[in-house]
Chain A
């Protein structure tokens, strides 16, 4: 009796597995015209897998994008919360197992993740240059779209937004925020325990150190233009480690403990334990003030020599079973209307990579007159301080060496 039960169970599982296979394959959208792609996308469902830890972003996708995409393209958008690394892990396994009909149609990537995905052949493409909105409203030759942390994009991802690294401070406690890293150093010295930065394993902590690296070499171009190598990095980074060792005793908890993530630093800031925080999104304070996390007197600042900025992108996995639908949806997300709504502080406040001067006049005005909120620096200020990211090799290198240089070498 027991054996027949087991056999039955196995047969049952195989029957179930048979049901999930046998989906029809679409023809490759590479050879199709845009009208044909739109036609193919009509009435389909598109699954976008993306990080889901920000309610502003989630609401933008669910409440604003999804209904309009349904209306304009007759596409049902399903948002699935999932960390990018898990998504890539899944795609990697699917590639190995030869699974052709994947369940992910759009992923949100940049930097290291894009590099890994592209090198391992996890992405479909090139598709970017087929998108009408990209061709009409974006600067085709912009270096920000050609390279993603030094990796050539080659049309495998389409720019969705851009962000710049800014610092936040409480204007009730600090009247003149530092203008350069030297001034920051003396400020830390005068206000011991009121500053810290996240561990460089964290995305934002790592960006803080990359920015410091730019500031401690003679000219940021030395880092941006030179391809990454261990020897070069070791040589150039010595002043940075020196700087960090100098400020260490005056950091929060005497530099014996660092926040493990930006979230932790934000909590310290929101409780008034430290007086500055930072983050890779120039408009982030708006949202956090509205939620009551940050005090209303929060303002932001950037320092010399400038502020790191990067673009984030949308890409299509190699085994998406609805590539036409994905392209139509990405085209919609790149449209001026969707970009404008994304820029508004209501939901997200994320900056747009669109070229405003390519838009029709009416929309140009709309974009230019938009008030992003009091805590966001002016467009001019941000553009003047913009510094591109260097080779993504620095990210890993900083992670590995920071522990040796700062934690172990007491």
Chain B
């Protein structure tokens, strides 16, 4: 069956509108209005209460910064581990490779809570519990499997030929990494960064256990509010929660511009 381009555009906007734009707009409207009672009057009552309550929560700003910081460190560690492990899995043949491959996925299969509880005791003995470093380490558990998978596929589609050629032309490891691997892996890097950041941001239980309440991330402040019946406050909080990864994404995009060959004024040949 052939689609006419116009049909395609229409169905695209319909799907985007109903599944993405409408819920987001609805959330924004909700954060400014009192809860609606469908059967009584259908008027909207405008209120700033949701936002004022949110901004008066005195741990909000510090929690946001801590979340950004922890997320950034988690992303960085993920990139280091994901790039090296992904490359090894993509290019090298060794004994037990498939076992290794499965092992890397295990953290996603085991219940995270069970892992966290076991790790907690070890972390207390090492003195890592109740510190942000401990929280960063436990956030690696649910994120590493994804970044290894994504970056491994990135390397597979890159192919080894390109890398071998650059070596034969005399490039060292460093310049090969900076000028070939990083720019060509950009789409994979982008998804890894965004995905791991969002996963790290939304961890509540493991942050609570390992951080022990000393590390108050945004999730620690946000999740208890899910039990509040005031949908106005909840909507305002949810928007704030969504703004954090968007902010992080913008920062990352700016940093990605500094990769080689990214200048928009570069003449493409």
Is there contact, CB below 8 Å, between A292 and B213? no
B224 contacts A81, C-beta separation under 8 Å? yes
Q: Is the Cβ of A93 less than 8 Å from the Cβ of B124?
A: yes
Pairs A-B, 7 closest by C-beta atoms: A17-B127, A53-B224, A292-B34, A80-B213, A266-B229, A97-B124, A272-B39
In the complex formed, the residue of B with least CB distance to A272 is B39
**A99 contacts B231, C-beta separation under 8 Å:** no
Asked if A292 meets B208 with Cβ closer than 8 Å, knowing A270-B229, A271-B37, the reply is no
Q: Would you mind naming 8 contact pairs between A and B with Cβ atoms under 8 Å apart?
A: A20-B130, A90-B209, A103-B213, A270-B35, A273-B38, A292-B232, A293-B229, A295-B37
A104 in complex: contacting residue of B39, B128, B212, B228, CB < 8 Å: B212
Binds B, one of A27-35, A55-63, A134-142, A336-344: A55-63
Interchain pairs with CB closer than 8 A, number: 125
Question: Which A residues fall within an 8 A CB radius of B?
Answer: 13-14, 16-21, 47, 49, 51-55, 58-59, 62, 80-83, 86-87, 89-90, 93-94, 96-97, 99, 103-104, 261-263, 266-267, 270-273, 288, 291-293, 295
Question: With the chains together, A293 CA to B35 CA distance in Å?
Answer: 6
Beyond A263-B228, A272-B38, whether A20 also contacts B127 by CB under 8 A is: yes
Chain B hits for A80, CB < 8 A: 213-214, 216, 220
Q: Smallest CB-CB separation from B137: which chain A residue?
A: A13
How far apart sit A100 and B216, CA to CA, in the bound complex (Å)?
22
Chain A nearest CB, measured from B196 CB (Å): 19
Chain A proximity mask over B232-246: 1 for CB below 8 Å, otherwise 0: 110000000000000
What is the 8 Å Cβ interface bit string for chain B, positions 40-79, against chain A (1 contact, 0 not)?
Answer: 1000010101000100111100000000000000000000
Is B227 in the interface zone, CB < 8 Å from A?
yes
**Alpha-carbon separation in the docked complex, A262 to B227 (Å):** 8
**Are B212 and A267 in contact (CB-based, < 8 A)?**
no
Which among B38, B39, B130, B233 is the interface contact of A103 at CB below 8 angstroms? B130
User: Are the C-beta atoms of B128 and A270 separated by less than 8 Å?
Assistant: no
For the complex formed, measure the closest distance between the CB of B134 and the CB atoms of chain A, giving whole angstroms. 9
B267, CB-defined interface residue at 8 Å: no
Pick from A18, A59, A93, A266: contact of B56, CB under 8 Å = A59
Q: With a CB–CB cut-off of 8 A, which chain B residues contact A18?
A: 127
Give the nearest-CB partner of B40 in chain A. A272
Alpha-carbon distance between A18 and B131 when the two chains are bound, in angstroms: 12
Most-contacted residue by chain B among A14, A80, A263, A270 (CB, 10 A):
A80
Picked from B35, B53, B121, B226, the residue with its CB within 8 Å of the CB of A93 is B121
Expressed in whole angstroms, the Cα–Cα distance for A133 and B40 within the complex equals 49
CB pair B232 A82 closer than 8 Å? no
Taken together as a complex, chains A and B put the C-alpha atoms of A266 and B21 apart, in Å, by 28
Q: Once bound together, how far apart are the Cα atoms of A270 and B53, in whole Å? A: 20
How far does the alpha carbon of A293 sit from the alpha carbon of B205 in the complex, in Å? 28
Q: Are A86 and B205 touching (Cβ within 8 A)?
A: yes
The minimal Cβ–Cβ distance linking A318 to chain B, given in whole angstroms, is 14
Asked whether A81 lies within 8 Å of B40 as measured between CB atoms, the reply is: no
Q: Residues of A contacting B213 with CB < 8 Å?
A: 47, 49, 80-82, 87, 90, 103-104
Task: Assess whether A97 is in contact with B224, with CB atoms less than 8 Å apart.
Answer: no
Question: In this assembly, does B221 line the interface, its C-beta being within 8 Å of a C-beta of chain A?
Answer: yes
B37 touches A270 (CB 8 A): yes
In the bound complex, CA of A291 to CA of B236 (Å): 14
Of the residues A49, A62, A94, A288, contact of B124 by C-beta under 8 Å: A94
Task: Give chain B residues whose Cβ lies under 8 Å from the Cβ of A58.
Answer: 57
Report yes or no: A53 in contact with B220, Cβ–Cβ below 8 A: no
Q: Could you tell me the distance between the alpha carbons of A196 and B174 in the complex, rounded to whole angstroms?
A: 66
A86 to B117, CA, bound (A): 11
A83 vs B34: C-alpha distance in the bound complex, in angstroms? 27
Task: Pick the residue among B53, B120, B229 that contacts A288 (CB under 8 A).
Answer: B229
Query: Which B residues are CB-close (under 8 A) to A272?
Result: 37-40
